[in-house]
Amino acid sequence: MLLSLLNRKEKLKFLDLAMHMVSVDGEPSQVEQRLLNMMLAEVGDNIVQEYHFSLSQDLEETIAFFADNHKTVKHIVYLNLLKVAMNDDFYNTTEHFFLENIRIKLSIDETKKKQIMRLVYKERDLRESAKRIVSH
């Protein structure tokens, strides 16, 4: 969501963070993999061709890159990481601590975190409502 607003380098760095997010608790689930594919489509073909699907060696460097960025970029990154974590109905403590670490390093306060979480839940609810409507 809103990944198209990021510049080329931000998109590449975001994909790296997303790969770390889905790998923090083991291999990506099918739901996580599907969501990653949707995010890849959103960042654009030119970025997909450029991205190497492996974890960077320095996660802290990637986080620091975003910590020095504009708050809008930080919020977009955090929104999409939350979306990855909360989309598979299995939000575990490892993911929680990973996200909290990033939230703190990106200087995102609790109020903004709650606002972003509400967005993720609203999007999930809308998707579920659409599924029910088209199924009946």
pLDDT at 65 over 70: yes
User: Residue 75: pLDDT above 90?
Assistant: yes
Q: Specify the CATH number for the domain of residue 70.
A: 1.10.3680.10
Number of domains in the chain: 1
Host H or E run for residue 45: helix 45-50
Residue entry with tokens 């975190």? 113
Give me the mean pLDDT over the 120-127 stretch. Answer: 90
Contact, 83 vs 120, CB < 8 A?
A: yes
Write down the pTM of the prediction.
0.86
Ranges 14-18, 20-24, 37-41, 104-108, most confident: 104-108
pLDDT at 90: 63
The domain in which residue 72 lies consists of 3-135
